[in-house]
Amino acid sequence: MDQSKWKAMSNDAIASVNTPGLVLTAPIMPHLMSNTLDPVALSNDIEKQIRALIIQHRKVYIYIPKFIR
């Protein structure tokens, strides 16, 4: 390892993080859970919602007078 590529630290800075008796612990990570969503059902539901929004948009757009558009 080329020490010239590293920024030097003062002895005080090193001592502040290497205190004798200091025990470093990693944060506790949550347990991984399996996916509870059915991707096919979710995709179908999103598609239905988008279709309903498109139909609603088209109905509103039809009733807007041309001079406003």
Q: Count how many domains the chain has.
A: 1
CA distance between the termini of the chain: 68
Residue 21 lies in a domain: no
Whether residue 19 has pLDDT greater than 80:
no
Give residue 7's pLDDT: 80
Q: Cα–Cα distance between 37 and 34 in angstroms, integer?
A: 9
pLDDT digits (tens, 9 = 90+) for 22-69: 666 667 777 788 888 999 999 999 999 999 999 988 887 776 666 655
CA–CA distances in Å: residue 1 to residues 5, 14, 18, 38, 48: 9, 19, 22, 50, 59
Residue 65 lies in a domain: yes
- The domain in which residue 56 lies consists of 38-69
Radius of gyration of the chain (CA): 30
Residue 14 lies in a domain: no
Residue 67 lies in a domain: yes
Residue 3 lies in a domain: no
Answering whether pTM is above 0.85, one says no
Residue 17 lies in a domain: no
Residue 59 lies in a domain: yes
